[in-house]
Amino acid sequence: MNLLEISGLGFAYPDGTVALRDVALSIERGEKVAVVGPNGAGKSTLLQLIAGFRMPFTGRVIVSGKELKESSSDEIRRDLGLLFQDPDDQIFMPTVEEDVAFGPRNLDMDDIEERVLRGLRSAGIEKLAKRQPHKLSYGMKKRVAIAGVMAMDPKVLLLDEPTSGLDPRSRMELIKLLKGMDRTMLIATHDLEAAAEIVDRAIVLNESVVMEGTLRDLVMAKDVVESAGLELPPISRLFKVLDAMGYPIDSLPVSMDQAVAELTMVMDRNGKHVHAHIHEHDHIREKAKAEHAHETR
């Protein structure tokens, strides 16, 4: 059964600018989906529409069997956990644990103590319970915001650019955290590399849905990637170079796991092994020496 069902969704801002046109999307229970696209493509607007913050719109949004209307938006938001791009927009209370308890208390949920503990644990910040959130680093604030959302036990997580503004370590930690969560997710991002690690499939949005499929399908569609202003993950770029050099590749991998699988597959197929080395060279004068990877039998 689809937990989130969107059909014919359209929205224009009061000044007439069209943000979304005839968007259709369905997400099954437990599925993780990324919405990728350039700035201004309507990704954040899509999340806000699903959460009932922007109305009126054309089309239908059904969350967990309930149709979104002005009158039902509060009820529908109980099933949704919205993570904002800037955690400061959703952290309100003086201590981390108080903030995590904020949602469950507002919704009169039972067993708040247990929910807070679960929320803190799911974000890996049990030790920060008594800290003042506004004094934490940006990455930790993101985790506090995630804990606050998780304490409400939402059916669907809506994440708006979860990795933006994070340093590499915090980013990797957050990716690992989201990857490990057994929860239905819709992630708006233009970080393809992060999306590749977390989601099962992706849709490319640019006012309307341009393409839908796995991240691997997406990186193979050169025109779509270029028109959506997306940048291939470094691992995909590397394999694109290898492909150009004649290395036998079926499709570009988008994550490290896929890259390892691809290499292993080629080795099994050809009975070869692969080793890569780095050396200094000059592209203009020593074109012949410009090979980064080579095969030996």
Is residue 123 near another protein by the rule CB under 8 A? no
* Cα gap 92→94, rounded to integer Å: 7
Q: How far is CA 168 from the centre of its chain?
A: 16
Tokens of 187: 């992630």
Q: For residue 188, give the nearest of 37, 80, 86, 77 by alpha carbon.
A: 37
Which one of residues 20, 128, 150, 159 is an interface residue with another protein (CB under 8 A)?
A: 128
Nearer to another protein, 127 or 279 (CB): 127
Q: In one letter, which amino acid is 154?
A: P
Q: Is 78 in the site for another protein (CB under 8 A)?
A: yes
Provide the minimum distance between the beta carbon of 272 and another protein in the complex, in angstroms, as a whole number.
Answer: 42
Please pick, from the candidates 14, 16, 56, 94, the single residue that binds another protein as defined by CB under 8 A: 94
- Residue 209's DSSP bridge partners are 205
- In the complex with another protein, which residue's Cβ is closer, 170 or 227? 170
Number of residues that bind another protein (CB under 8 A): 45
Q: Which is nearer to another protein, 116 or 242 (CB)?
A: 116
Instruction: Give the pair of three-digit tokens for residue 1.
Output: 């059964």
255 in contact with another protein (CB under 8 A): no
Burial class (CB in 10 A: 0-12, 13-18, 19+), 83: buried
Alpha helices in the chain (DSSP H): 43-50, 73-77, 96-106, 112-122, 138-150, 168-180, 192-198, 215-220, 222-227, 234-244, 256-270
Q: Could you give the count of Cα atoms lying within 13 Å of 237 in the half-sphere of its Cβ?
A: 8
User: For residues 129-188, which are near another protein according to CB under 8 A?
Assistant: 131-132, 134-140, 148-149, 152, 167, 169-170
Shortest Cβ 169–another protein spacing (Å) = 7
Using CB under 8 A as the binding rule, the residues of this chain from 9 to 68 that contact another protein are 48, 51, 53
- Is position 296 an interface residue for another protein (rule: CB under 8 A)? no
Query: At which residue do the structure tokens 């506090």 appear?
Result: 144
Phi, psi torsion values for 68, nearest 5 degrees: -75, 125
C-beta of residue 119 within 8 angstroms of C-beta of residue 157: no
For another protein, the binding residue among 21, 69, 105, 118 (CB under 8 A) is: 105
* HSE value, Cβ hemisphere, 13 Å, CA-based, for 19: 21
Q: Is 257 in the site for another protein (CB under 8 A)?
A: no
Q: Which stretch binds another protein (CB under 8 A): 26-34, 76-84, 178-186, 273-281?
A: 76-84
Check residue 74 for interaction with another protein (CB under 8 A).
yes
Which chain residues interact with another protein by CB under 8 A?
A: 48, 51, 53, 74, 77-78, 80-82, 84, 86, 88-90, 92-94, 97-98, 101-103, 105-107, 112, 116, 125, 127-128, 131-132, 134-140, 148-149, 152, 167, 169-170
